[in-house]
Structure 1
């Protein structure tokens, strides 16, 4: 595994607090896989044997409803992991995963990680932290859909992707804006209007790049009373 791949993996909640010896063992048993755009990573209902860490590109998790409609559950990019909760329980995947851009993933075998849990309390804590983070993210998504304006939801999404907490930065977005709209519970045309409303907050969009003038300022906008945000 390349040193830069190991560095990304070690910064995830899945591995950040795991003892170095266990990290070495887990990653030595993992493997790096490249997926093309549109390629399936796993399907809803398949046995969950692995956890995935995104090294580059974008992945979507989705479910197909009874009426055939696609519901996007989450989107993941560099440094994010997915599949933990069900893999640790040897359950089936409740969603499907697909590469929405060419992407590179680390596949960590669940059995390999669970051996670390048995050997190290720190690894067990890392497992709990990672699964809790995913649960918290889902709760936050539901809260945002109910209590925040469309522009605030988009701003929060950009803040989640930002590599810093304050100051200026640039965020890479997937080219398919329908993906972002689906993740945020919006229509594509509503997403375009939301991006326009964020210009006064220092956000500019150029193709698949979002430039943020001040991440701290944008976070303040996210937490603002929605009644005030609507009036802007």
Structure 2
């Protein structure tokens, strides 16, 4: 649960201004959004909110990672998204939905900016800049969701892992080294895989020179990885 908060300070306002959600805002629209932000710090595994609770606010990640997930009737969990610094989540409920449709949990120590749903709804009705920023964020998430669905249906587990690594490679050829920004169980959820399926995928990629040591991934041949 969220506890103590404070108004966004100069550094935090600067971070918010650079996020995809707010970077297009100027003048009074930007000032009013920044003034409405309350910043919280939360420890790892703390719940931001739970599925079914009243949807009173949406959030922007300033530091750390937040896991969005749903729980089935038999207790199984399915990750929906891993939110990184700069990402907003639950803004899809600004114009619809009285309750959260998923749960949000701090994957590690996080800093979040909280925006009141009703306040931002009123701002959007008064200022087209704010309304456009919301629509842009929603459009981006819809396109991302479509990509995830296609990825799940067309790509094998090794291909999903390979694509993730290739997109983060610092070089297009030769060898490369990547450090995961979070635990491998979060990567599994992000890619729509069970942890054991992720382990098997990494094992199958050894033939391309991929080795795993903790969070560090060594790639022996980037071009060979692209052929998976």
The two structures have a TM-score, normalised by structure 1, of 0.78
Q: Secondary structure at the match of 1:88?
A: coil
Question: How is 1:75-224 mapped onto 2 (pairs within 5 angstroms)?
Answer: 75-157=82-164, 162=168, 172-175=180-183, 177-195=184-202, 197=205, 200=208, 205-209=212-216, 221=226
After superposition, the Cα gap between the structure-2 partners of 1:204 and 1:27, relative to the gap in structure 1 and judged at 3 Å, is farther
Separation (CA, whole Å) in 2 of partners of 1:163 and 1:32 = 33
**Which has more radius of gyration?**
2
Separation (CA, whole Å) in 2 of partners of 1:138 and 1:145 = 11
Separation (CA, whole Å) in 2 of partners of 1:57 and 1:144 = 25
Separation (CA, whole Å) in 2 of partners of 1:171 and 1:105 = 24
Offset, 1:163: 11
Separation (CA, whole Å) in 1 of partners of 2:12 and 2:219 = 27
Separation (CA, whole Å) in 2 of partners of 1:210 and 1:125 = 39
Give the conservation status (yes or no) of the 8 Å contact 1:173–1:209.
no
Give the conservation status (yes or no) of the 8 Å contact 1:54–1:77.
yes
Give the conservation status (yes or no) of the 8 Å contact 1:13–1:129.
no
Partner of 1:15: 22
Partner of 1:224: none
One of 44, 48, 69 as aligned partner of 1:37:
44
Separation (CA, whole Å) in 1 of partners of 2:61 and 2:166 = 18
Q: CA RMSD in A?
A: 3.2
Offset, 1:107: 0.5
Offset, 1:128: 0.7
Separation (CA, whole Å) in 2 of partners of 1:159 and 1:8 = 28
Partner of 2:3: none
Separation (CA, whole Å) in 2 of partners of 1:56 and 1:41 = 14
Q: Which stretches of structure 1, 4 residues or longer, exceed 6 Å deviation after superposition?
A: 163-169, 211-215
Q: Secondary structure at the match of 2:114?
A: strand
Total equivalences in the alignment: 218
